[in-house]
Amino acid sequence: MRFSIITPNYNGGRFLEQTLASVTAQADVELEYIVVDGGSTDASHQIIARHASKIARTIIEKDTGPANAINKGLAAATGDVLAWLNADDIYYPGALERVRQVFEQRPDAAICFGGCPIIDAQGREIRSAITRFKELFYPISSRFTYQCINYLSQPALFFRRSAFEQAGPLRENMRAAWDYDFILRLWRSGGAAQVPGRPLAAFRWHEQSISGQHFARQFQEEYEAARADAGSLAPQTLIHYCVRWGIVGAYSLMARRRKSCA
């Protein structure tokens, strides 16, 4: 079982070294690592060069955003299992080998996911209550549940090539929720299997991240994607609508608190 991992990057040198190292250290599986850089002007190219011996392909050219960059990587990928890891997130040691084992045990699964804490710029876990809340849905994971609420963390999610071929590429006209829309489409190809135990990856939250800057737009787009997938009058759509406003309210409150403490 061959893995293809894509890292999109544009001026992400602040965290890129950690991201690349966390992927190239996954030595227990057959790995094709693809880095897609949108023409960075910071130290990214020097950082990528330091890891060149373990990167199968580097694409350096202008793109129209992260979704476009990831689509380029997915188009070039040859693996049986695909995923992307953004230039500020990390994998934990042995993550891909654990994913491989679960996919082999669950040939019916189109998607494989695991735990994914939120970390800050210094790598410290934050917002643990949000992580625990998401994990409550793992035992009842289903396409229905995912249409109601986005509880899967993209850095810790992997999918089969066959599911990707059926789902098609990421929507590049979305600003913040193209991953949620894409995962909804992946789910049409089969079930999702959880990797038990310790987390697979960590999602880094910081002020410059997409979720840090555009969370209201993100949850609006997620609602629209769920409505399109489940249907305007489906109970999942109504549940998602209510959940969306609760989450946006909580995030807005946290944003105001950060500003008041600054």
How confident is the model over 90-144, as pLDDT tens digits?
A: 999 999 999 999 999 999 999 999 999 999 999 999 999 989 999 999 999 999 9
Q: Is residue 184 a contact partner of residue 178, using CB atoms and an 8 Å limit? A: no
Q: Is the pLDDT of residue 214 over 90?
A: no
Q: In the numeric block, which tokens belong to residue 156? A: 């810790």
User: Cα(78)–Cα(155) distance, rounded to whole angstroms?
Assistant: 20
Least confident stretch, 9-13, 182-186, 214-218, 221-225: 214-218
Q: In the numeric block, which tokens belong to residue 1? A: 């079982």
Q: Which are the contacts of 141, defined by CB distance < 8 A and separation ≥ 6?
A: 113, 151, 192, 194
Q: Is the pLDDT of residue 80 over 90?
A: yes
Reported confidence tier of residue 261, pLDDT bands at 50, 70, 90: low
Q: Is residue 111 a contact partner of residue 191, using CB atoms and an 8 Å limit? A: yes
Residue percentage of the chain with pLDDT more than 70: 90
Class of domain 92-262: alpha beta
Reported confidence tier of residue 250, pLDDT bands at 50, 70, 90: low
Least confident stretch, 67-71, 208-212, 256-260: 208-212
Superfamily of domain 1-91, CATH level 4: Spore Coat Polysaccharide Biosynthesis Protein SpsA; Chain A (3.90.550.10)
> pTM of the full predicted structure?
0.91
CB atoms within 10 A of CB 179: 26
Domain boundaries, given as residue ranges, for the chain: 1-91, 92-262
Q: Can 1-91 and 92-262 be said to share one CATH topology?
A: yes
Q: Is the pLDDT of residue 3 over 60?
A: yes
The set of long-range contacts for 253-258, using a CB threshold of 8 Å and a minimum separation of 24, is 255/215
Helix H, strand E, coil C: the string for the chain is CEEEEEEEECCCHHHHHHHHHHHHCCCCCEEEEEEEECCCCCCHHHHHHHCHHHCCEEEECCCCCHHHHHHHHHHHCCCCEEEECCCCCEECCCHHHHHHHHHHHCCCEEEEECCCCEECCCCCEECHHHHHHHHCCHHHCCHHHHHHCCCCCHHHEEEEHHHHHHHCCCCCCCCCCHHHHHHHHHHHHCEEEECCCCCCEEEECCCCCHHHHCHHHHHHHHHHHHHHHHCCCCHHHHHHHHHHHHHHHHHHHHHHHHHHHC
Q: In the numeric block, which tokens belong to residue 35? A: 């880095």
